[in-house]
Chain A
Amino acid sequence: MVEVVYFAWLRERIGVPRERVETGAATVADLVAELAAREARYAAAFADLAAVRVALDQELSDFGAPLAGVREVAFFPPMTGG
């Protein structure tokens, strides 16, 4: 079980800011594949992964990273601070 959070247009496309997901996914990429297979709104949000960034427990990470021990996964577009 992991907490999955979404920001900006990913949050809008998926329709919720956060949700608890029951998953046995080994990596972030596996989790994305599971979500995208669920419903069209997830498939639409994850259609172009070059435009998506990921953080694991609030640290910037990548799609190949393992999920073992991770409590919170965040998906968001490239950041635009400053």
Chain B
Amino acid sequence: MRISVQEAPFDLGAEIAGFGAAGNAGAIVTFSGIVRDDTGRMVALELEHYPGMTEKALTRIAEDAMARWSLADCLVIHRYGRLAVGEPIMMVATAARHRRAAFEAAEFLMDYLKSRAPFWKREIGVDGPGDWVEAKDTDEAALKRW
């Protein structure tokens, strides 16, 4: 299991090379979130986080996923700072014996990262800093299924 909170970009392919090999995994799922521009006027996202609490929260969420789905391995990378449109924000990877466990664990990680990892996003538009991104009720509701 590995957690990384970092400003630097990451290479999805390089990160999953050899991932899950030691745990005799039969299935690997990866998800990566990318900065997107819904308005045509956004140039970047600025991500703020709570150093210390972020690492603790991500570790707990990943440990929960490892235990609940008996994962062979689990990787969570989440960036902070200024991220341009098109850049990767974060990724999760899960390795399990079977695909259902790997998919479910990845969805669980994503749902919890959305609402329980102390990150805050603000849109940077062509005219400068814009609004803070508001949490959605659907994000909180998504936790209930777990």
Chain A residues positioned under 8 Å from B116 (CB to CB) = 60, 79, 81
A55 within 8 A of B: yes
How many angstroms from the CA of A55 to the CA of B52 in the assembled complex?
A: 12
Separation in Å of the A11 CB from the closest CB of chain B? 8
| Among A30-38, A40-48, A70-78, the stretch in contact with B | A70-78
Q: How far is the CB of A45 from chain B (nearest CB, A)?
A: 13
Q: Is the interface of B mostly helix, strand, loop or mixed?
A: mixed
Cβ-defined contact, A58 with B120, below 8 A: no
Contact A82 B120, beta carbon cutoff 8 Å: no
Q: Say yes or no: A58-B115 contact (C-beta < 8 A), given A8-B120, A77-B120, A80-B120.
A: no
List, in ascending order, chain B residues with CB within 8 A of A76's CB. 50, 118, 120
**Which one of A7, A55, A59, A60 contacts B120 once the chains associate, using CB atoms below 8 Å?**
A7
Which residues 90-146 of B sit at the A interface, judged by CB distance below 8 A?
A: 90, 110, 113-122, 132-135, 139-140
For B, the interface residue count at a CB cutoff of 8 angstroms equals 26
- Bound form: Cα–Cα A32–B52 in Å: 23
B9 part of interface (Cβ distance < 8 Å): no
A55 and B132 contacting across the interface, CB-CB below 8 Å: no
Given A7, A59, A74, A82, which contacts B33 in the complex, CB threshold below 8 Å? A82
User: Is the CB–CB distance between A80 and B50 below 8 Å?
Assistant: no
- Between-chain CB contacts (< 8 Å), 15 pairs: A7-B48, A7-B118, A74-B53, A76-B50, A79-B118, A79-B119, A80-B119, A81-B113, A81-B115, A81-B117, A82-B89, A82-B90, A82-B110, A82-B113, A82-B114
Could you tell me which B residues sit within 8 Å of A by CB distance? Answer: 33, 48, 50, 52-53, 56, 78, 89-90, 110, 113-122, 132-135, 139-140
List residues of chain A with CB under 8 Å of any chain B CB: 5, 7-9, 55, 58-60, 74, 76-82
What 4 A-B pairs have minimum CB-CB distances, sorted nearest first? A78-B135, A81-B117, A58-B53, A8-B120
14 extra A-B contacts, CB within 8 A, seeds A74-B50, A78-B140, A82-B117: A55-B50, A58-B53, A59-B53, A76-B50, A78-B115, A78-B135, A79-B119, A79-B120, A79-B135, A80-B114, A80-B139, A81-B78, A81-B117, A82-B113
